[in-house]
Structure 1
Amino acid sequence: LLEGKIPGLLARLSDLLLCRWTCRNCCQKCFDCSCCQTNEDEVEILGPFPAQTPAWLISSQNEDKDGDSDNAISELPPTLQDVSPDRRRSSSDTSRSTYSLTRRISSLESRRPSSPLIDIKPIEFGIIGAKKEIVQPTILRKTYTPDDYFRKFEPRLYSLDSNSDDMDSLTDEEILSKYQLGMLHFSTQYDLLHNYLIVRVIEAKDLPPPISYDGSRQDMAHSNPYVKICLLPDQKNSKQTGVKRKTQNPVFEERYTFEIPFLEAQRRTLLLTVVDFDKFSRHCVIGKVSMPLSDVDLVKGGHWWKALVPSSQNEVELGELLLSLNYLPSAGRLNVDIIRAKQLLQTDMSQGSDPFVKIQLVHGLKLTKTKKTSCMRGTIDPFYNESFSFKVPQEELENASLVFTVYGHNVKSSNDFIGRIVIGQYSTGAPESNHWRRMLSAHRTAVEQWHSLRSREDCDRVSPASLEVT
């Protein structure tokens, strides 16, 4: 018996709370009022709302503002006009609640593009009575100040003074007026019969004078330009012209060939770097020109005047040296192979240099042995393939250092220093130390590695062994 009465008691209690003790239609107590009783025929299911608000709901909104309920009922659909007045009222209340929910959702949809930080709880639809209120969605809005949005921007990315300009979008006249580094005249052509690329460096004009140590421009008498030619990305078989003394409009008229297949040449980029020669200091880069060979007709060939652009490399690197080390514990011999060097700094005004390598063995801080390679004439990419052996007992190996110095041969005066590295106890850097450790862990096996040459000042600052040699 109680199971049958409990649902009825809950329904009466719900109606009692919603009607607030007094019926709106008959002004009687809710216990005795017949119109407050829930009728199964009046139950509605609220489903998904239509994409557009119906016309009768818009009219209901206008009438709701004016307070005229009779005109609002006349605008209802015909299916709602035929029902009793009591049901009209209940349907009208439901329609207004439905419209109110639709209106809020529509306003949220209109604000979505400009207000992305809106969190809407899911709307639960269910079966409700004619007098039950529709639960509106809860909107959780976070407040943000304008500084919160602009704090994520990086002003340096939008600065007009940034160096991220696209060089391809500028003409040669614009580049020349912007940087004022001069222009370079050169030509390219591919020889299909012999399978090599021909690059001809013709001349340059309006080159700026070099910058002195105090930051000012020197006079024209100190400008000694030359051009380095290579194919990116690996810079194999690089070439360079002779140095033209005391001029800002040098005429080179030099021709170079690169043995490379035609399809491979089309994937390369020609890099021409104009450098100012300085015998007593590092050479200064004036500017560069890069041209993808896929953008030109290599077979037909052509001549170009290109404006020089600044280079990220302000100074010319000293070059690289390929070495091989091997230690034989049983014989107590330290074997050194000088294989080759590339991109060495030019030390002669004429084309190329005459480089050789001096190898010196230092025990602790005492020079014990000196040897050197043969001199390669007129090149900055010499091949040596020469071997040297030093007697070093195993117990003294941990205190040994090898000093490798590259010089340019000079007949008239002392040899010109190009670069140096130290490998062993007093290594000049991490690559040199790594090479020495690899040799110690691989007995009787030759270990090869490329090393970038360093200046004399850099070596003297970090390696005591460099101070003990000349």
Structure 2
Amino acid sequence: MNKERCASRDQWQQCSYSPIGGAAGLGRGWSQPLQQQQQQQQQQQQNGSGWQAMLQCTRAIGLKERWESVDLGEIMFSLCYLPTAGRLTLTVIKCRNLKAMDITGYSDPYVKVSLLCDGRRLKKKKTTIKRNTLNPNYNEAIIFDIPPENMDQVSLLISVMDYDRVGHNEIIGVCRVANNAEGLGRDHWNEMLAYPRKPIAHWHPLVEVKKSFKEWHGRAASFDSQGSCPSPKPPSTP
């Protein structure tokens, strides 16, 4: 920079470098005098609160849209366990406000229930398919034989699926119940064990498939599979 163009110290203070035009001279590359800069800064500070409010509003709208985009619907089912018979009954009652998966604005939902143990799928069962609806009613019972000594080792993965005639069926959302599940999934399981022989029904929100759920789906195993988790055995007959 050429300081000779500012004859005095006062003039030097008025000559502040601006990165817009580089160091080409006072006509280009140098900002306006300090008084005009101060006036602009004061005006920006006065308008700053308005801009901040607009930014906060925009962020709030974006956050709302993000939460709304992951609203997959809910499923209601009941759990009932008979310790003497070693029988767990999950009754799929209904779903509501499911995510539309087809171009028609509807889905063809059915429910798949997988019996898991340490990430291995031991068995799976399905409900019937309900056509063109986002609020299907099922009232279908799914039964698994699980001895009491294995109840702490197993979990149930409930997947609401969209049937597709062409291609693969899509997962709308899932939920999980077990003694080591999170939130409502754990509470529902513990309530079932606390009140044996009594059906306990709750609504469960559907969530997106996590990595752990994908691993469970990929590790299918039969009752004869060998692993760290013993396969549930049928209860002994008296």
Q: For 2:151, what is the secondary structure of its paired residue? A: helix
- Which amino acid in the other structure matches residue 407 of structure 1? M
Deviation at 1:410, TM superposition (A): 0.4
Q: How does 1:42-441 map to 2 (within 5 A)?
A: 159-160=49-50, 161-162=52-53, 312-314=64-66, 315-427=69-181, 429-441=182-194
- Change in CA separation of 1:460 and 1:364 when aligned onto 2, cut-off 3 Å: closer
Aligned pair partner of 1:442 in 175, 192, 195: 195
Query: Quick check: 2:179–2:190 contact (8 Å CA) kept in 1?
Result: no
Runs of 4+ in structure 1 over 3 Å off: 163-166, 458-461, 464-470
1:231-252 deviations in Å (ceiling 9; x for gaps): xxxxxxxxxxxxxxxxxxxxxx
Query: Quick check: 1:420–1:459 contact (8 Å CA) kept in 2?
Result: no
Which consecutive unaligned segments of at least 5 residues does structure 2 have? 1-47, 222-238
Query: Quick check: 1:323–1:449 contact (8 Å CA) kept in 2?
Result: yes
Query: Quick check: 2:109–2:162 contact (8 Å CA) kept in 1?
Result: yes
With structure 2 as the length reference, what TM-score do the two structures score?
A: 0.64
Question: 2:219 maps to which residue?
Answer: 468
Q: For 1:370, what is the secondary structure of its paired residue? A: strand
1:373-432 deviations in Å (ceiling 9; x for gaps): 1111101111111111110001111111111111111001110111111211552x2111
1:253-298 deviations in Å (ceiling 9; x for gaps): xxxxxxxxxxxxxxxxxxxxxxxxxxxxxxxxxxxxxxxxxxxxxx
- Change in CA separation of 1:460 and 1:360 when aligned onto 2, cut-off 3 Å: closer
Deviation at 1:458, TM superposition (A): 5.6
Q: Percent sequence identity over matched residues?
A: 30
- Which amino acid in the other structure matches residue 159 of structure 1? S
Query: Quick check: 2:122–2:220 contact (8 Å CA) kept in 1?
Result: no
Q: For 2:141, what is the secondary structure of its paired residue? A: strand
Q: For 2:210, what is the secondary structure of its paired residue? A: helix
Once residues 442 and 467 of structure 1 are traced to their aligned partners in structure 2, the CA distance between those partners, rounded to angstroms, is: 33
Once residues 163 and 433 of structure 1 are traced to their aligned partners in structure 2, the CA distance between those partners, rounded to angstroms, is: 41
Q: For 1:410, what is the secondary structure of its paired residue? A: coil
Once residues 188 and 82 of structure 2 are traced to their aligned partners in structure 1, the CA distance between those partners, rounded to angstroms, is: 16
Deviation at 1:344, TM superposition (A): 1.0
Query: Quick check: 2:110–2:130 contact (8 Å CA) kept in 1?
Result: yes
Deviation at 1:434, TM superposition (A): 1.0
Once residues 329 and 351 of structure 1 are traced to their aligned partners in structure 2, the CA distance between those partners, rounded to angstroms, is: 44
Deviation at 1:465, TM superposition (A): 4.3
- Change in CA separation of 1:165 and 1:326 when aligned onto 2, cut-off 3 Å: same
- Change in CA separation of 1:434 and 1:425 when aligned onto 2, cut-off 3 Å: closer
Deviation at 1:164, TM superposition (A): 10
- Change in CA separation of 1:459 and 1:363 when aligned onto 2, cut-off 3 Å: closer
Matched residue pairs, number?
169
- Change in CA separation of 1:353 and 1:469 when aligned onto 2, cut-off 3 Å: farther
Once residues 63 and 119 of structure 2 are traced to their aligned partners in structure 1, the CA distance between those partners, rounded to angstroms, is: 40
Query: Quick check: 1:408–1:418 contact (8 Å CA) kept in 2?
Result: yes
Deviation at 1:329, TM superposition (A): 0.6
Bigger relative contact order (CA 8 A; separation at least 6): 2
Deviation at 1:366, TM superposition (A): 2.9
Deviation at 1:163, TM superposition (A): 5.4
Q: For 1:313, what is the secondary structure of its paired residue? A: helix
Once residues 456 and 469 of structure 1 are traced to their aligned partners in structure 2, the CA distance between those partners, rounded to angstroms, is: 17
With structure 1 as the length reference, what TM-score do the two structures score?
A: 0.33
Deviation at 1:313, TM superposition (A): 3.1
Deviation at 1:331, TM superposition (A): 0.8
Q: For 1:344, what is the secondary structure of its paired residue? A: coil
Deviation at 1:457, TM superposition (A): 2.4
Bigger Rg, structure 1 or 2 = 1
Deviation at 1:456, TM superposition (A): 1.3
